Amino acid sequence: MKIIVTGGAGFIGSHLVDRLIKGGHKVIVIDNLSTGKKENLNPKAKFYKADIRSPKISQIFKKEKPKAVFHYAAQIDIRKSAEEPIESASINILGTLNVLENCKKFGTKKIIFASSGGAVYGNAQIIPTLEDYASFPVSPYGIEKLISEYYLDFYHKNYNLKYLILRYANIYGPRQNSKAEAGVVAIFTNKLLNNETPIINGDGEQTRDYVFVDDAVRAAILTFKFSKSDNSIFNIGTSRETNVNNLYKLIVGETGKNVSANYGLAKPGEQKRSCLDYSKIKKELNWKPKYNLEKGLKKTVKWFKEL
């Protein structure tokens, strides 16, 4: 099958491209390389350097006519979304609309959308959180993802474009950008290996649900394969809550660098707790994470050491 992956030179997207190509699909990558890297690109993928907001997207869709799209390109930094909400919304909402319009125009059958369970639910009162929990995002990034989900449903109901929404928890692993503001595992690991002092924002008691990238990609492929999952929302998490202080201790142990972190101010728009219940995808598609945090961190730190 011919498949477009937006953001296919990025962290999760590049792992997804590798898996799709391994499965025998013809993959076209669209990425503007603002955060993605050329070295992440699979040599068997066809690459277009383009912004998802650009009119060039129409030319690519017209030429390639993909049967499916994995839409992973996004502005993913919650803090940046609070500091530059217009630019963030432009990428995450208008960019998504541009992709959807071209799916409609050129006969794409299905779109798989990388959403954020770590952001759309907001400060949930029920932890771990299920898909049917009322969504009240506390960051512009979460709002943008939720609005995009509503657009997906609109295009399905009005133009018969099938969709899948994957609400990811906090994904980590090899290829994650350690120079960005998002991706605490990569940031801590890189700083410790370079004998620098990491900064923990707030008191470090805020919790997240950490999912290894291989598990995240496996979930995407699994939902894509089975049509019974069409037009559904799935949480992709571990149902395990870990606070930043404990995460930091685990990374210190894995890197062997006994460096105490400094503490900074809490960032606006960040939740206190976030953890996803993945029982729906487990029940419907028999997916569950294969990596616990300790095992995933071991593989991640090993990759960073070998850079």
Active-site positions read 141
Q: How far apart are CA 299 and CA 219, in angstroms?
A: 19
Instruction: Pinpoint the alpha helices (H) of the chain.
Output: 11-22, 56-64, 78-83, 85-89, 95-105, 117-120, 140-159, 184-193, 213-225, 244-255, 279-285, 293-305
Q: How far apart are CA 139 and CA 224, in angstroms?
A: 29
Q: How many CB atoms lie within 10 A of CB 205?
A: 12
The helix/strand/coil state of 92 is helix
62 phi and psi angles, rounded to 5 deg: -60, -40
Q: How far apart are CA 248 and CA 261, in angstroms?
A: 8
